[in-house]
Amino acid sequence: MIIKWGPKSLFAKLLAAHMVVIMVTLATIGFLFSYLVDKYFFSAREWELTAQAEQVAELLAAEFQAGNFTEVEKMSETLSVSMDVKVRVMDDQRNEIVTAIPPQGESTESVTLDPDEIDFIMQGDVISKKVYGPAVQHLLVGMPIFKGENGREAENPEVIGGIIVNAPLASLRANAAQISSLVLYSLLFATLVAGFFAFNLAKTISRPLQAMTSAAMDMKSGNFRNRIDINDKGELGQLAATFNQAVEETNKTIHEQKRLQALRQNLVASVSHEFRAPLTSIQGFVDAMLEGFIREEEQEKYLRVILNNTLHLNRLVNDLVDLASIESGYVQLRYEDVDPYTLAEKALDSVYPQAQEKSIKLEYNYEEGLPAIRGDGDRLYQILINLLENAITYTPDEGRIALEAQLSDDKEKVIFTVKDNGQGIPLAEIPYIWERFYKVDKARNRANKGKGLGLAIVRELVHMHNGEVAVKSTPGEGSAFSVIIPIEEKEDEKSPD
């Protein structure tokens, strides 16, 4: 069975990756540095030893040519001691004449040049050779000895002998090893320092990602309150900010979906309820007529009840279709200059018959010099009609309703207010009255055949005009519904000419 091992967390993977890169990089640098140091030391020593061999050959040339080998031996020993090298002198027949070893020198009989290499020397060439072994490490330089004063510079130089200079490399190798040790210790220290920074970097990178993982797990369990707090202006900070924004938007979307789901459920329940009562009434009276339970002289009365219920259902369907069209964006406003006085009078004239049925007194109070409103005249008329019909529905017989029109304090809006002296609305229920099918007193509303859609339509139409809605109410004293409509059309709402 093969067991795969490796870091599991992102932090561990980042740290491992950084450490591998650091160690490989530093190891490569250390190897190259050691190699270059080694090469430099040996190249310098080789150059130095070659110069020394050439100097020895020049010093020995005159005595060697004269055949004064005793003097050659003395000079070789002196040079061997002063240069700390082994000097071997050969004649042109490759016979060793002199071997000079420094006092502290080691025996290196086995360390020499091959016959082929000695042939190169006798042909006038210079040769160098490194000898490495478990016990010996030497550098050898072979140099020819030329006849005459000009030596190598003569027109036809003649080789009369050769020298082999042998220098030990142990001390050189020790110096290189010491430098390599210093480099190794430096690299170990650099690894520790780089590891510390790699640890912090990996932690800095992984911390926000771990926080996002934790927040995502909270989101999975339905908790959208967790946010990521990262003080970073780079990509990680942007990522955290984007994540927080996404969580916020997701949270809003979920709440909106829940709200819409609740509205849909409420809509279905409310529509079913609103349709059930008139349909049941229609069905009951029709069955009674068909079965002959209602006398012929009473049928007209019940037929009017059926007609009223049918008209109520028709208005309910029309309002639902109208509200759905507005909310879906299918309704487009036709902007024109609308006179607020004419608009208010037209609305009051339209609801006057309904007010008369309940002996309700209608009043119109307005401010002089109101400017024209830039809006859709039909939709503004619908707004006032819905507010007035709502007031009439919930105002008792012989009550009072007032329609007021005035300019706002900033002179940029016209405010229409419908006041009644009805039963009023409890403060806790005011935020919900603009929702469709919401009714404060459902039993009273059913009796008055309120549809619960008028105020929802008012709010949507006012918002389409970039306006606002407001309501003030005192239970037992009455209510005041206001719509605030801007006088001028916004630039982005203007239709092209």
Give residue-wise pLDDT tens across range 244-256: 777 778 778 887 7
Does 220 fall in a domain?
A: no
Domain count of the fold of the chain: 3
Tell me the C-alpha distance between 473 and 425, whole Å.
6
Whole-number mean pLDDT of the chain? 80
Give residue-wise pLDDT tens across range 191-217: 888 888 878 777 777 777 777 777 777
Where residue 63 falls (left for φ over 0; alpha for ψ -120 to 50; beta otherwise) is alpha
- The range of the structural domain enclosing residue 266 comes to 227-331
Does 189 fall in a domain?
A: no
Does 211 fall in a domain?
A: no
End residue of a domain, out of 299, 331, 363: 331
Residue-level pLDDT at 135: 58
C-alpha separations of 105 from 79, 100, 101, 166 in Å = 13, 10, 6, 10
**Whether residues 263 and 401 fall in one domain:** no
**Whether residues 147 and 37 fall in one domain:** yes
Contact at 8 Å (CB) between 94 and 122?
A: yes
Does 221 fall in a domain?
A: no
CATH number of the domain where residue 251 is located: 1.10.287.130
**Whether residues 325 and 378 fall in one domain:** no
Does 215 fall in a domain?
A: no
**Whether residues 315 and 355 fall in one domain:** no
Contact at 8 Å (CB) between 366 and 406?
A: yes
Residue-level pLDDT at 305: 83
Question: Can you tell me whether residue 339 is helix, strand or coil?
Answer: coil
Does 183 fall in a domain?
A: no
Name the one residue in this structure whose structure tokens are 């008055």. 448
**Whether residues 300 and 339 fall in one domain:** no
Residue-level pLDDT at 420: 94
Does 202 fall in a domain?
A: no
Mean pLDDT score, 11-21: 77
Does 22 fall in a domain?
A: yes
**Whether residues 270 and 326 fall in one domain:** yes
Strands ordered across the beta sheet of 86-91 = 96-100, 86-91, 159-168, 137-146, 127-132
**Whether residues 321 and 358 fall in one domain:** no
Among the residue ranges 162-176, 348-362, 401-415, the one predicted with the least confidence is 162-176
CATH number of the domain where residue 120 is located: 3.30.450.20
**Whether residues 67 and 166 fall in one domain:** yes
**Whether residues 244 and 128 fall in one domain:** no
Which are the contacts of 80, defined by CB distance < 8 A and separation ≥ 6?
86, 87, 100, 101, 102, 105
End residue of a domain, out of 141, 176, 211: 176
